[in-house]
Chain A
Amino acid sequence: MTSTTIADEFETFATDGAGAEGPRWLRKARKAAMARFEQLGFPTPRDEDWHYTSVAPIAEAGFRVVGEPGGDVTEADLEPFLFGHPEWPRLVFVNGRYAEGLSHVRGLPAGVRVLDLAQAVEEEGDLVERHLTQVADDEARAFTALNGAFLRDGAVVHVAKEVESPLPVHLVFVADAAGANSAVHVRNLIVAERHAQVTVLESYVAVGDARYFTNAVTEVAVGEGATVRHYKVQRESERAFHVGTAEVTQARDSHYVSFSFATGGALSRTNVYTVLAGEGCGATLNGLYMVDGEQHVDHQTRIEHAQPNCFSREIYKGVLDGAARAVFNGKVYVHPIAQKTDGKQSNNNLLLSERAHVDTKPQLEIFADDVKCTHGATVGRIDETALFYMKSRGLDRETARHLLTYAFAADVLETIELEPVREGLEELARKRFIVDDQ
């Protein structure tokens, strides 16, 4: 997927294909995004934001944007990914294309709208135009620009003023064999109006082990006093590439709560960027990554305190085995005006093998003088003293190791408020560490 072929592909997409569809502002936005991408190109390790993660394998793989909907995903295939709640309203995308037959939005009150992007452009044109491509910044972000160029499929979640969604909304992105060698650029929009509340869960999963590239962007506008809980579960195929960006803007007194769970992909990168643009906001960004073999997992977060009296909390944990690599780069940026900022950030990693490697870079950039901010990072191994203690009570080495590892991971999973998701992810963590000998 060199720049030339992407440009060619865009040309076809924008003149004859789906890219020619939609209102004028959208077509313009696609063209502008493509121009931006051509200017930026794929990032290289010289780019500060990509210092520890080379995307050359993505750039060189020649992934192609999927035209017609394809794939053979059934209701039964989805079942393991639904956290035991198939009744939750959901939009399903197969290989990046909206799959109406697998989706339903039952059980939502009038104030909560969940639409696929094409339908949203028709029915909620003003809303979409007001926010889409407005929250996510593609100025220096090549993958966001690339996503914008091929903008077509995605989900729009809108919660009206003072409405609390009684159910979480599940966005499921599935890849199967038909998606092999494809590039999937999905774009979602979540808008919570004043005092609205909603939980949105994004799952990126695979049926089979195809090699493909997911490039997802989710834009979130959290209105005054609103709360958005945004959980992301990244369980792509072990041969897949994944770049996922959540970009958030928060109005006064709003809360944004994010959790990133990442176990899949050969190479994955998750970005969570939020701007606390009003007073009295809170942002909680937590995450857990567990990788092994040759996997590479990268998280970049940016919490921008742009106004006074806001708080942010961030805990990312990682467990690495085999020759896996992890990168954590978390920035908390405090503007001069943002007095009384209260920020805490930590990244803790557990290495289970000699060959695993972590690069962690928690960063504070503070330009206000009356703030309370702390940050820290640790990289460690299993505590031998604890291991001996457990063995001295009759537990064998493997059991004790698994238990200690699980405990390390479960600690951050406990922060997930949506119980079925917390339990489901705890189960995944347990299975990953505890070899059942039954």
Chain B
Amino acid sequence: MLKIKNLHASVGDKEILRGISLSVNAGEVHAIMGPNGSGKSTLAQVLAGHPGFEVTKGSVEYEGQDLLELEPEERARAGVFLAFQYPVEIPGVSNAYFLRSAYNEIRKARGLEEVDPLEFLDVMDQKLKVVEMDEAMLNRSVNTGFSGGEKKRNEILQMAILEPKLAILDETDSGLDIDALRTVAHGVNQLRRPDNATIVVTHYQRLLNYIVPDYVHVLANGRIVRSGDKGLALELEAKGYDWLLEDAGVTAGAGA
């Protein structure tokens, strides 16, 4: 589904991704871990098409297409979804209106009929249950005045509605208490299917107790320094990141 080859990306003069290669197949869950500043959030944002990063080298192939050639909205319509680490507040735009607009864009791209507000309510009814969200949240402005947990749930709600092929969760666990974490993880698990894939970007192993990865990759200083199975995450939890960084010849905190 996704083939990343030797990906380099920069902000201004500063190179943040320094040669990432990674393949993700349908049905798989990949966890990307790493210390602060390792580039893991940058990787997530580059895949979604954030205009603040410039890809200087390498390629990303998604379902046979050159992903880097696509605008963010084209990526979304092709089935790529990024759950933001910091979901954006949009005062004045109701959540319901925003979600329906997005849903209809994605449906159009898939050759399906658009739905009207009433039909959309039916869609919402089921999806709200996935993330245990109250219907009242739909009438509020997008993320405006939401608590940290509400914002993250709202991201997963969007994911549930848009049914992406490739979901990238960027530190969705950060700032969540254990109940909210369980709810969010439960939502993500319910959405897993043999024909979609998930990339979970996280700093902590905790989330991976709930969303069990097939592969774990450790990023440091813009490169993948170790890949393994879920056992690697447990090892990191026990020993921290430093031993891996030393192995890879990187001093702790470099690139932070």
Contacts and interface: CB of A to CB of B under 8 A. Distances in A.
B102 A411 contact: no
Nearest to A410: B92
Given A393-B102, A393-B158, A395-B105, A407 B51 contact: no
Interface stretch (B35-43, B60-68, B69-77, B181-189): B69-77
B87 interface: yes
Contacts of A386: 88-90
B72 A391 contact: yes
B70 to A, nearest CB: 11
Given A389-B84, A389-B87, A403-B101, A394 B76 contact: yes
A384 interface: yes
A395 B76 CA distance: 9
**Chain A: number of interface residues, binned into ranges:** 20 to 34
Contact of A394 (B88, B90, B91, B102): B102
B44 to A, nearest CB: 11
Contacts of A391: 49, 71-73, 76
B193 interface: no
B82 A392 contact: yes
Contacts of A213: none
Interface in B73-127: 73, 75-77, 81-82, 84, 87-93, 98, 101-102, 105-106, 109
A394 B51 contact: no
A397 interface: yes
A404 B97 CA distance: 12
Nearest to A384: B51
A390 interface: yes
A399 interface: yes
Nearest to A399: B101
B130 interface: no
B233 interface: no
A410 B73 CA distance: 25
Contacts of B109: 394
B162 interface: yes
B84 A394 contact: no
Interface string A377-398: 0000001111011111111110
Given A389-B84, A390-B98, A395-B102, A403 B93 contact: yes
Contacts of B76: 391-394
Contacts of A390: 90, 98, 102
Interface residues of B, number: 29
Contacts of B93: 403-404, 407
B219 interface: no
A339 B83 CA distance: 51
Most A Cβ at <10 Å: residue of B75, B82, B88: B88
B206 interface: no
Interface string B135-152: 000000100000000000
- Of the listed residues B76, B77, B92, B98, the one surrounded by the most CB atoms of chain A closer than 10 A to its CB is B92
Given A394-B102, A395-B102, A397-B73, A388 B51 contact: yes
A408 B92 contact: yes
Interface in A392-426: 392-397, 399, 403-404, 406-408, 410-411
B49 to A, nearest CB: 7
Interface in A37-55: none
Contacts of B82: 392
B129 interface: no
B57 interface: no
B48 interface: yes
B90 A389 contact: yes
A393 B92 contact: no
Contacts of A399: 101
A403 B76 CA distance: 18
A385 B72 CA distance: 12
Interface of B: 48-51, 71-73, 75-77, 81-82, 84, 87-93, 98, 101-102, 105-106, 109, 141, 158, 162
Given A384-B51, A389-B90, A394-B102, 15 more contacts: A386-B89, A388-B72, A388-B88, A393-B158, A393-B162, A394-B73, A394-B106, A394-B109, A395-B105, A396-B73, A397-B71, A399-B101, A404-B93, A407-B90, A410-B92
8 contacts: A389-B87, A391-B49, A392-B84, A393-B98, A394-B73, A394-B76, A397-B73, A403-B93
